[in-house]
Amino acid sequence: MKAIAPGKLILSGEHAVVYGKPAIAMAIDRSAVFELTPQAGNAISFDLADGRESESFTLLALRDLKRRVENKYHQFLRGEVGIREVLAMPADLFRFAFINTLDGLHRQLDSGLVCKLRSSIPVGCGMGSSAATVLSEIRAIGHYLRVDFKPDWYYEYSLEAEKLQHGRPSGVDSYISLHGGCARFRQGVATPISLPRMKMFLVQTGVPQTTTGECVMAVEQRFRDSGIWDEFEAVTEAFGDAIRANDSQKVHWLVRENNRLLCEIGVVPARVGKFIAEVEGWGGSAKVCGAGAVAGDAGGVVLVFADRQPTELCDKYGYGVSPVRGDPLGTRIV
């Protein structure tokens, strides 16, 4: 069984969505593909394409991992450990998702399985990599076990895994990857809107030194009760109107305003901010997508709205750039 799930970009409202404000996000043409294949015996093997050989586990070992991870997460909630300490290694996210879904469905396996993951979504760059990989895995498991899976189940099982990576996820990554398209998202409620029709480009500024969870915590310490989230909300609501009207001039202005607010809360590294300023001087608009960073020079992905690809400018900074389009379909069997 093979399932695919797209990554996502937040077009407006990152960080603010954590405080109950709206965000606009879209699924994109970068995706995770998860494939399940039966194998002899009862081992569960994970081939995650991280440069290592496939690792195998018994169900007993996976359940032991699940208990340890859940205990660590409760320690995080009590403030005893940081979010990075919840998962001993990134691959534990997928092992947890597998056994958590299997046990939650109360299903038995009649053979071992090989779980193969391949992804074109950059990791740690604000593009919903963990949500997409987990959703492709859960979708493949559900189909393999012939479960009449409801979308709400996918969403809840995905969030169970996402919290281990991000602490207190808003749910926007999982929702957009599951359903595809573009939507206004607020406190777990999504309203579909049209995919943007203007040209967009993804610029890779490098993997941030800080995780999404660490960025969220750092911003919370300084801005939890700030009125700046009302400013984010006003920009996001206007952005949604501009997308619906295909008003590219207004979109450019609002992207610049969003970037200004992100700089104010301290998640745009200085070097990335300088690049964005040059994009604006060049005639486009740009902003970091996702959490950004509160340390180092790299800010993850920058989304550029422009009539043409800013190749020369990206070359100047040593950044990779490519066009990006929306994915209208979401998580599915292929």
Model confidence band, residue 127 (pLDDT cutoffs 50, 70, 90): confident
What pLDDT, in 10s, does the model give residues 253-285? 999 999 999 999 999 999 999 999 999 999 999
What pLDDT, in 10s, does the model give residues 160-176? 998 998 787 778 889 99
Model confidence band, residue 150 (pLDDT cutoffs 50, 70, 90): confident
What pLDDT, in 10s, does the model give residues 64-96? 999 999 999 999 999 999 888 999 988 899 999
Q: What mean pLDDT is predicted for residues 185-195?
A: 89
Predicted TM-score (pTM) of this structure: 0.86
Model confidence band, residue 233 (pLDDT cutoffs 50, 70, 90): very high
> What is the reported pLDDT for 18?
83
Percent of the chain at pLDDT > 70 equals 99
Give 170's contacts (C-beta < 8 A, 6+ positions apart).
17, 18, 23, 185
> What is the reported pLDDT for 153?
87
CATH number of 195-323: 3.30.70.890
For 303, list phi and psi in degrees, rounded to 5.
Answer: -100, 125
The structure tokens listed for 278 are: 């040059």
What pLDDT, in 10s, does the model give residues 90-126? 889 999 999 999 999 888 899 999 999 999 988 777 7
Residue 174's closest CA among 130, 240, 238?
Answer: 130
> What is the reported pLDDT for 92?
93
Model confidence band, residue 52 (pLDDT cutoffs 50, 70, 90): low
What are the domain boundaries of the chain? 2-192+328-333, 195-323
- 2-192+328-333 shares its CATH topology with 195-323: no
First to last CA, the chain: 8
Q: Which CATH architecture has domain 2-192+328-333?
A: 2-Layer Sandwich (3.30)
Count of helix runs (H) and strand runs (E) in the chain: 10, 12
> What is the reported pLDDT for 217?
86
Model confidence band, residue 214 (pLDDT cutoffs 50, 70, 90): confident
- Strands in 40-168 per DSSP E: 44-47, 55-57, 112-119
Angle between helices 151-166 and 212-223 (to 10 degrees): 80
